[in-house]
Chains A and B, each alone.
Chain A
Amino acid sequence: MFKDVEHLIRLAAVMLLALLLFVVLRAAVVPKSFGQYGHYRGNAISEIAARTPAFAGHDVCEGCHTDVVDQKKLGRHANLHCEVCHGALAKHADDPAAVKPQLPDTAVICARCHEANSAKPMSFPQVVTADHAGGLACGTCHKPHTPKIEDEPAKTASAKPVGGTR
């Protein structure tokens, strides 16, 4: 019935080889986990998740520094996490002896939040630091962990908080 089929078989063999080559190459080139969840490398997810955090999180801080936590509860900064002002301290949490945190400069760090700006909520305490402190660092009068002044001096016009529009 089939005469002279030899060339067809030869062609089929060539095509089969090509297909085999394609399968091998594709398997070699496409990453292992590609398509695990969708059209992307599934392992990328675990690679991104594997990075180490720089900020320890307040639960870690409060594990050791209970004295500061108690102190903070008395003032307006009760809900502030430690790393808001003290910066990323996961390395310190890992090895408290070797990595010591830097004491923040109150002249800079306080102003970032409390510098008067009309875009800040009205209820938020704000001052024009240049008028209010006259170059003094905030820490001179205020205690950052319990920020209230025991004997509050009579408010001058410049020391009055400047409100926003809301």
Chain B
Amino acid sequence: MDITRRHLLLLLPTAAVAWKFVEAGTPEASPNYNKSEHWWGMLIDIPKCIGCGSCVRACSEENDVPDGYFRTWVERYHVSDWNIERPEVSSPDGGKQGFPPDQISDGKNFFVPKLCNHCADSPCTQVCPVGATFVSPDGVVLVDKNYCLGCRYCVQACPYGCRFINPKTNTAEKCTLCYHRITKGLTTACAEVCPTGARQLADLKNPKDPIHEFLRTHQVQVLKPHMATGAKVFYNGMDGSVR
């Protein structure tokens, strides 16, 4: 078969159309906020937490979190003197309305706020089969809800239980570290309303951020360090019984 002029005339426009599609897939330049200048995390000062639940309420309102689901929540730990390996943990309605009065006198009692740890090596993003969840260039673990299939792999993979399926959208949802706020120069909703400063947004790439001084001068831990997730939510004054 010879390629005649007729064949070529048919083939060339088709190739041109195809090339246009390929070109269209080339990414566009990103807007003003410079992702490469930030590496976000959070500092949680457990001895300052009073379990008021302001953070949980603010998070729900800021992010339109459905009732009964939590992007952040507060746990109340009761560690008895004789069984420090098995703490009693309670979190009525995620601590949204604070905690009921009590006057337990034995053991050790404290609150632990929880949220997505925005792991640098996050197990949840690694299992996503379609690339709907990812660590952004500024270190925030996000979900692309338009791309998520709702397969729940990530919900199972998160060792911290920080993900859920939104019953309205049927897609995975989680803490975004208030990405829509921090990219506008605001702090997260939970840190904004924390009355005691127990929660503080931290930019690890900003040398002027007080987090660096704090990390140098305090005994700070992350949750489940043995899982090597590269968690970026740092807990100060955390008891060994916290899971």
Residues from chain A with Cβ under 8 Å of B100 in the complex = 115, 117
Rounded to whole angstroms, the CA-CA distance of A20 and B12 in the bound complex is: 11
Q: Mark B32-54, 1 if CB is under 8 A from A, else 0.
A: 01010000000000011011111
Partner of A121, one of B50, B132, B179: B50
* Chain A CB within 10 A, most for which of B15, B147, B176, B195: B195
- Determine the residue in chain A with the shortest Cβ distance to B142: A48
Partner of B195, one of A39, A46, A84, A165: A84
A32 CB to closest chain B CB (Å) equals 6
Contact B146 A44 (CB under 8 A): yes
Contact A45 B21 (CB under 8 A): no
User: Is residue A64 contacting chain B, with contact meaning CB distance below 8 A?
Assistant: no
Contact A119 B33 (CB under 8 A): no
Contact B142 A53 (CB under 8 A): no
B154 CB to closest chain A CB (Å) equals 13
Q: Is the interface of B mostly helix, strand, loop or mixed?
A: loop
Q: Interface with B: A6-14, A66-74, A94-102, A135-143, which one? A: A6-14
Partner of B176, one of A48, A120, A121: A48
Contact A20 B102 (CB under 8 A): no
User: Is residue A49 contacting chain B, with contact meaning CB distance below 8 A?
Assistant: yes
Rounded to whole angstroms, the CA-CA distance of A81 and B52 in the bound complex is: 15
Residues from chain A with Cβ under 8 Å of B58 in the complex = 55, 83, 88
Partner of B76, one of A13, A119, A121: A119
Partner of A111, one of B15, B98, B133, B176: B98
Rounded to whole angstroms, the CA-CA distance of A30 and B178 in the bound complex is: 28
- Determine the residue in chain B with the shortest Cβ distance to A57: B186
Contact B18 A24 (CB under 8 A): yes
Q: Mark A27-39, 1 if CB is under 8 A from B, else 0.
A: 1101111111111
User: Is residue B197 contacting chain A, with contact meaning CB distance below 8 A?
Assistant: yes
Contact B180 A49 (CB under 8 A): yes
Contact B1 A27 (CB under 8 A): no
Q: Mark B190-226, 1 if CB is under 8 A from A, else 0.
A: 0011111100000000000000000000000000000
Contact A57 B134 (CB under 8 A): no
Contact A115 B98 (CB under 8 A): yes
- Determine the residue in chain B with the shortest Cβ distance to A83: B193
User: Is residue B25 contacting chain A, with contact meaning CB distance below 8 A?
Assistant: yes
Task: List 12 extra interface pairs beyond A119-B78, A121-B47, A128-B103, CB under 8 A.
Answer: A20-B18, A32-B28, A37-B136, A41-B144, A44-B144, A49-B179, A49-B184, A84-B193, A113-B195, A119-B76, A119-B99, A165-B107
Question: What are 9 of the A-B contact pairs (CB < 8 Å)?
Answer: A38-B131, A38-B134, A44-B134, A44-B142, A45-B142, A47-B144, A55-B181, A119-B99, A119-B109
Among all A-B residue pairs, the 7 with the closest Cβ atoms: A27-B21, A36-B27, A44-B144, A51-B180, A119-B109, A112-B98, A40-B134
- Partner-A contacts on B (CB < 8 A): 1, 14-15, 17-18, 21-22, 24-25, 27-28, 30-31, 33, 35, 47-48, 50-54, 58, 61-62, 76-78, 97-105, 107-111, 131-137, 142, 144, 146-147, 176, 178-181, 183-184, 186-187, 189, 192-197
